[in-house]
Amino acid sequence: MGDIKMSALSNILKILIGLVILVIGVIWYTGPAVLLGSYALFGWYGELITLLKATVGLFLLFVGLIIAWMGYDDYKMDKEMAKEVDKTE
């Protein structure tokens, strides 16, 4: 039971670290205009939209690669499990 709690805590910590890195990345690309208050809030909006448009292709590439890799790994695991079942019978 303790291992499950530690695993969940570890996953939550990873999520929080990822969100902090994401926010730092947005601030990095938008510059200090974010820190000037609500008046400067819309100054970086166009740049953020351009950045998001530019990264959609890379995002799709990596997500597709990860999904394909997971599917291939599951396929290999199913073949190995079938071989073990055949050996035991």
CA–chain centroid gap for 66, Å, is: 10
- Report the pLDDT value the prediction gives residue 43, as an integer from 0 to 100: 58
61: tokens are: 């590439």
* Residue in the block written with tokens 């969100």: 19
Could you give the C-alpha distances from 61 to 31, 54, 80, in angstroms and in order? 27, 12, 29
31: Cβ contacts below 8 Å, ≥ 6 apart: 44
Q: Residues in the chain with pLDDT < 50?
A: 34-37
Q: Cα–Cα distance between 22 and 20 in angstroms, integer?
A: 5
- Report the pLDDT value the prediction gives residue 34, as an integer from 0 to 100: 45
What is the amino acid identity at position 43? G
- Report the pLDDT value the prediction gives residue 63, as an integer from 0 to 100: 87
- Report the pLDDT value the prediction gives residue 35, as an integer from 0 to 100: 47
